[in-house]
Structure 1
Amino acid sequence: MGAHVSKQVERRKAISTEKKTLVELKQTVGSHYPGSDYHPPDRKNWMSGLDPDRIRINQIVWPGTHDSATNKIGIPLVTRPFAQCQSLSIYEQLKTGARVLDIRVQEDRRVCHGILLSYGVDVVIGDLKRFLEETDSEIVILEIRTEFGHEDPPDFDRYLEDQLGEFLIHQDDQVFSKTISDLLPKRVICVWKPRKTPQPKPGGPLWGSGYLKDNWIDTDLPSTKFESNMKHLGEQQPAANRKYFYRVENTVTPQADNPVLCVKPVTDRIRDYARMFIAQSFARGFADRLQIFSTDFIDEDFVDACVGLTSARVEGKA
């Protein structure tokens, strides 16, 4: 018992120290970078506002959501706080400005997060199609993966093609250097990541797992995650030279050995430092490598942070 209490005391000290580290770094370096003052007049149509004829796919800093379809996961007030990473529906996230969705599914096509379940993936597809029908030039990256510990839904690739066929941008390495206008009327880059069934075929309507990469570390320590994100970003090539999307997730994750197990208070340890992360990527010389930037509980300021840098790139200021 005494050893457990001692361990918990040390964990609390480590978290407190790391939170203080980020606060002091922000006070020292700030959160300003090219485009940081930009606010899109219409977040629902922010790509249209930056001119689809000019903006290339590899110039975009894509605002993304982590565990996107968890707004109704589990049982309210019982299990939901332990797995909910977003409070908005998929449609509301897209309307707010998110352009990358992270969807986890299990055998019966229901969305899940670990052992907890949510609605069927049809709800995700319905919200996405509603958004696409209400907009003209917004491109969305839809990542769907089979959750760890689960089996792939049967014939899921065929299901995705049937549901989204008219919108799907086929896998093609040339896509990265094209403008949004070059790709229209196609609107969705769908990355399907099965666990056991074959990966999507080259040139087909779905993109394989190698086209969306990240370096996830499972920690609830905010400065540790911040510096890990920075380290791995620095190891990437500039976005203009890559033939895949690279994601940085501005999140930390509850740990089983810590008494704070609810997602919101844990991820809030790092959530407010998204702008500082972008500013630090400039200070450390690799802002040109930032591409997909994801968060829990997405809000307008996070979207503006990403769109602002995208605007600066299009204008040749970054």
Structure 2
Amino acid sequence: MGAQLSKQVERRKAISAEKKVLADLQQNGGCDFPGSDYHPPDRANWMSGLNPDNIRIHQIVWPGTHDSATNDIGIPLVTRPFAQCQSLSIYGQLKTGARVLDIRVQEDRRVCHGIILSHSVDVVISDVRKFIQETQSEIVVLEIRTEFGHDDPPDFDQYLVDQLGEFLIHHDEQVFNKTISELLPKRVICVWKPRKSAQPKPGGPLWSSGYLKDNWIDTDLPSTKFESNLKFLGEQSPAANRKYFYRVENTVTPQADNPVLCVKPVTDRIRGYARMFICQSFARGFADRLQIFSTDFIDEDFVDACVGLTSARVEGKA
């Protein structure tokens, strides 16, 4: 008992020290970067507002959400706090400005986060379709994967094509060099990541797992995650030279050996430092590598930071 208590005391000290590291870095380094003062007048149509004729896919800093379809997961006040990573519905996230969605499914096509379940993936697809039908030039990257520990839903690739076929941007590496206008009226890049089933074929309506990469480390230590994100981003080639999407997730996650297991208080240790991360990527010389930037509990300020940098890139200021 004493050893366990001592371990927890040391863990709390480590977390406090890492939170102070980020706070000090922000105080000393600031949060200003090209486009940091930009605020889109209409976040639901921010791509349209930046002129789709001028925006190439590789120039976009895509605001994304982590564990996107968890707003009503589990049982309220019972299991939900341990699995909820977003407070908005998929439609609400898209209206707020999110353009990359991270959806986890299990065998029966229900959304899940580990063992905790949510609604059918049909709800996700319905929200995506609704948003697309209400807008004209917004491109969405939809990543759907089979959750760890689960089997793939049967015939799920055909389900996705049946549900989204008219909107799907087919796999083609030249997409990264094209403008938004050149892709329209197609609107969705769908990356399907099965665990055991065959990967989508080249040239087909779905994109395979190799086209959306990240370097996930599972930690609740905010400075550790922040520096890891910078390290791995710095090892990437510039976005203009890549033929795949690279994602940085501004998140930390609860750990089983720590008594704080609810997502919100843990992820809040890093969530407010998104602008500083962009600023640090400039300070360290690799802001041109930032592409997908994801968060828990997305808000308007996070979207504005990503859109602002996108605007600066399009204008040749970054």
Give the TM-score taking structure 2 as reference length: 1.00
- Counterpart amino acid of residue 89 in structure 2: S
Q: How does 1:1-318 map to 2 (within 5 A)?
A: 1-318=1-318
1-structure distance, mates of 2:161, 2:70: 23
SS in 1 for 2:154: coil
2-structure distance, mates of 1:36, 1:81: 32
1-structure distance, mates of 2:8, 2:112: 30
Shift, 1:170, TM fit: 0.2
SS in 2 for 1:112: strand
1-structure distance, mates of 2:99, 2:165: 19
Displacement over 4 Å in runs of 4+: none
Shift, 1:158, TM fit: 0.2
Shift, 1:134, TM fit: 0.1
SS in 2 for 1:33: coil
1-structure distance, mates of 2:140, 2:299: 17
Give CA-to-partner distance per residue, 1:258-315, whole Å, 9 cap, x none.
0100000000000000000000000000000000000000000000000000000000
Shift, 1:108, TM fit: 0.3
- Counterpart amino acid of residue 254 in structure 2: P
2-structure distance, mates of 1:174, 1:191: 16
Give CA-to-partner distance per residue, 1:139-197, whole Å, 9 cap, x none.
00000000000000000000000000000000000000000000000000000000000
- Counterpart amino acid of residue 297 in structure 1: F
Shift, 1:66, TM fit: 0.1
- Counterpart amino acid of residue 51 in structure 1: N
Q: CA RMSD in A?
A: 0.2
Aligned residues: 318
Stretches of structure 1 lacking an aligned partner (at least 5 in a row)? none
Stretches of structure 2 lacking an aligned partner (at least 5 in a row)? none
Identical residues among aligned pairs (%): 86
- Counterpart amino acid of residue 93 in structure 1: Q
SS in 1 for 2:275: helix
Shift, 1:211, TM fit: 0.1
SS in 2 for 1:149: coil
SS in 1 for 2:141: strand
Give CA-to-partner distance per residue, 1:46-93, whole Å, 9 cap, x none.
000000000000000000000000001110000000000000000000
SS in 2 for 1:35: coil
- Counterpart amino acid of residue 176 in structure 2: F
2-structure distance, mates of 1:271, 1:112: 22
Give the TM-score taking structure 1 as reference length: 1.00
